[in-house]
Amino acid sequence: MGEYIGQLVDAPVAKPKAKINPALVNALTPTQQAMPTQAMPQQSMPSQSNLSPKSQEMLRLEQAKRASDQATAPPSAEFMKRAASLKDFEGYLTEYKNELDKDLMVFPKEIPILPSQGIAISLPVGSDTARMNAKYTALLMGVKSAYELGALTGPDMGIVEAQVTNPASISGALTSRDGMKEQVKVLEGILKRGRENLESSYGKKIDFGAPQGGANSANDPLGLRPRKP
């Protein structure tokens, strides 16, 4: 046999894994030490009972001055605009209610033939019908204006219109005056809540003026105007 004279290659030998000394690792790795927390002292407001009589009197005067300044400060333009819309709404509502109280004979202005196509037959309109229709239209315009200015919130304007029947319509001819007066009460509640919400939001009172014709409650059905002594 021939003799092999090539280079010998040693078989790979697995190297032993280095042992990790946990103590050495801990010594070389910096650790974050939690800083001791110190509770900040809470400063509590002294109660009025802990104040001296002089300090209590000064505090009372300061609170009274702030309330007086807020009450006497001139109202903002936004408040005046919304208050004016509520005044208009109240005026239209009172006129419409007074017209209902007359219990006049009111006829429909037109008779619908094809309601889906908006086709109707117009009828002769008397003075009572024209006046009642004008009061109804002005009332809805007053409500809409108050909603648009944010003086009123709540039901959608379309819902309000659907709940108030036009006396000069076929539906009005089928609705009793007592039924229409119940609808007016709904509007009176909306107006009252609108006034209360506006006054509460701005800390101001709405002056509806003195009642016309004296202090008779019939001239001020909602009790919005101040009473004369």
Nearest by Cα to 185 from 72, 100, 108, 75: 100
Weakest mean pLDDT among 27-31, 50-54, 75-79: 27-31
Distance CA 93, CA 51 (A): 53
Task: Say what the pLDDT of residue 165 is.
Answer: 92
Task: Tell me the mean pLDDT in the region 184-189.
Answer: 92
Helices 127-148, 77-101: axis angle to 10 degrees equals 150
Residue pLDDT, tens place only, 17-26: 555 666 555 6
Weakest mean pLDDT among 35-44, 64-73, 205-214: 35-44
**DSSP tag of 6:** S
Task: Say what the pLDDT of residue 167 is.
Answer: 92
Distance CA 229, CA 212 (A): 14
180: pLDDT confidence band, cut at 50, 70 and 90? very high
Residue pLDDT, tens place only, 105-158: 888 877 777 777 777 778 778 899 999 999 999 999 999 999 888 888 776 777
Instruction: Out of 42-51, 64-73, 87-96, 169-178, give the one with best mean pLDDT.
Output: 87-96
Average pLDDT, the chain: 75
Does residue 33 sit in helix, strand or coil? coil
Q: Are 107 and 126 in contact (CB under 8 A)?
A: yes
Task: Tell me the mean pLDDT in the region 204-209.
Answer: 77
Nearest by Cα to 202 from 35, 77, 47: 77
